[in-house]
Amino acid sequence: MALPWRARLRGGWIGFLSVALVLFLLGCRYRLVIVDGASMHPTLESGDLLAVDRLAYSAEGPREGDLVVAWVTGEQVVKRIVGLPGMMIEVRDGVLVIDGSPRQPGQGLTPGTLNIRAGMIGPGRFAILGDNRIGGTDQTAHALVMRSQIVGKVVGRLACGRWVQGWFPGLVEASTTGTHEPAPGTGVR
């Protein structure tokens, strides 16, 4: 027996509203960004589409090694968290040194020529750094960011970002190319 037209119409609206609600809730939690630059190579390539979970750090804070999108000097950047509050951090010839112990290139890290003087990371701050350290500071952005500057954690990657951006030009690009150095003579704070 066929449903009366009113019942079918009501069922269609309920389905439409359910899908719209799910998309809205996903949009509140996740953000799509496109990588622009080479400082995260080989982990990320320019043009990759990233899914960023904006609520990933609601329950617990960022961890060393997380890939994040953060606001730095007015632009969004994609970087790896390499230092947490209270850590002593430096970079010698592209090798990350934390609390006096060199970290072996891993997690996609590329050794290079970047040097950053040693310094203690202050409370509520996180050190972020690009994985590609071959080109020195020209291609490797580094910064100290407050928790409030971190947009979210990268939870997914697709290598079709430029194609998607052609269809959805409003997607945000997250740069990996800027240089964000500490003030001269201050090292890392």
pLDDT tens digits along 21-42: 766 766 778 888 888 888 887 8
Whether residue 51 is predicted with pLDDT greater than 70 in this model: the reply is yes
**3-state helix/strand/coil string of 53-74:** ECCCCCCCCCCCCCEEEEEECC
- Looking at residue 171, its pLDDT comes to 54
Quickly state the pLDDT bin for 182 (edges 50, 70, 90). very low
> CB–CB of 120/41 below 8 Å?
no
CATH top-level class for 31-175? mainly beta
- In the predicted structure, residue 45 carries a pLDDT above the cut 50: yes
Q: Tell if the pTM clears 0.85, that is, is over it.
A: no
**How many other β-carbons are positioned within 10 Å of the β-carbon of residue 41?**
19
Please check the confidence at residue 185 and state whether its pLDDT lies above 70.
Answer: no
**pLDDT tens for residues 61-76?**
999 999 999 998 888 8
Token pair recorded at residue 137: 């500071």
Question: What is the model's pLDDT at position 140?
Answer: 44
Average pLDDT, the chain: 75
Half-sphere exposure of 134 (CA within 13 A, CB side): 9
Give pLDDT, residue 91. 82
> What amino acid positions are annotated as catalytic residues?
39, 79
Work out the average pLDDT over 124-139.
71
